Homo-oligomer: A and B are copies of this chain.
């Protein structure tokens, strides 16, 4: 006996019930069902009840794809970040997702790995899939693709790095001020030879932090000691090791982000240099782990969760009313005092 196999995908994809199915079961037209579902007025109570029963029975769920095709807003926003391995971005992403959910929006996510071509592809893809707006931590804020993307008419909000030639809302922190305060704090501790350590000065926020360092040091008539690598953290420990070998050459380090801070700590520990007595340390970006390092690390804290939730609110506002001109939001940082800077005690209660 020969048994005719069902075509596999037909057999499996149990067709989802449609409006028509519900309408037929309830003995009404599909318009009535549509109205009942969308809470329109003008549906008699009795009919509404029949429709609800049919919906329950069939376990009917509206097909969101079809709804979108009729012009209904997708309630999706896209988020593109360079990486999720950096806690800054993963916490940001969590905050974005939570805030979006509170407003009944879904979040599309993509990781660009700081590669503009990936970023562009993902942004295009998102626009093609009808996101209502985009949150973008751009790898390169002035890439030409941004103009054409922006001209697609969907709103952008630039996070952490503004988009040069595109008029968009943006949100970031006081990178310059936060860095300057940190370095001034080291100076207040009597440090004279302060190294600025980091990488990827092409990123605007990093550049701002370096500027903050520079102005603080120059105002105090101290020497400028900058070791900022081009675009990778690869050689960071190595070059720092070299500097540290000549002890006494520096008496403090300001690191421009959390990865740099990690490298600095590791190099100092490996070289058995005492922190803060021999070399003090303040890093930009606060991490939970700084509470348990040796010693605990004084750091510039960014209000990450606020950045994320504000960014979403700004975007949703923009989606609502497209008229207003672009806004720029700048949030303050906090210097969290711990032991690596030379301060005696922690400024924060235990978590």
Q: Which A residues are within 8 Å of any B CB, using their own CB?
A: 8-9, 12-14, 16, 59, 61-66, 68-69, 74, 83-85, 87, 90-91, 93-94, 97-98, 101, 106-111, 113, 118, 122, 124-125, 127-130, 148, 151-153, 237, 262, 265-266, 269-270, 287-289, 291-295, 321-323, 350
Contact = CB atoms under 8 A, between A and B. Distances in A.
Contacts of A66: 69
Nearest to A59: B148
Contacts of A129: 64-65, 106
Nearest to A91: B85
Nearest to A65: B68
Contacts of A8: 321-323
A214 to B, nearest CB: 27
Nearest to A86: B90
A41 to B, nearest CB: 23
Contacts of A63: 128, 130
Contact of A98 (B61, B113, B128): B113
A83 B94 contact: yes
Residue of A61, A109, A237 ringed by the most chain B CB atoms within 10 A: A109
Contacts of A262: 288-289, 291-292
Contact of A237 (B124, B237, B323, B350): B350
A130 B130 CA distance: 14
The 4 A-B pairs with the shortest beta carbon distances in the complex, nearest first, are A294-B294, A289-B289, A90-B90, A84-B94
Residue of A63, A84, A98 ringed by the most chain B CB atoms within 10 A: A84
Contacts of A295: 294
Contact of A110 (B106, B124, B151, B294): B106
A166 to B, nearest CB: 16
Given A8-B321, A61-B124, A69-B69, 12 more contacts: A8-B322, A63-B128, A65-B74, A84-B91, A85-B94, A101-B111, A106-B125, A106-B129, A108-B109, A266-B350, A289-B292, A289-B293
Contacts of A84: 84, 90-91, 93-94, 97
A20 to B, nearest CB: 15
A292 B321 contact: no
A65 B59 contact: no
Contact of A265 (B64, B106, B292): B292
Nearest to A110: B97
A152 B122 CA distance: 29
B62 A128 contact: yes
Contacts of A94: 83-85, 111
A69 B270 CA distance: 60
A114 to B, nearest CB: 13
A237 B322 CA distance: 49
A13 B153 CA distance: 6
Contact of A293 (B151, B237, B294): B294
A350 B270 contact: yes
Nearest to A237: B350
Contacts of A93: 84, 90, 109
A111 B83 contact: no
B90 A14 contact: no
A295 to B, nearest CB: 8
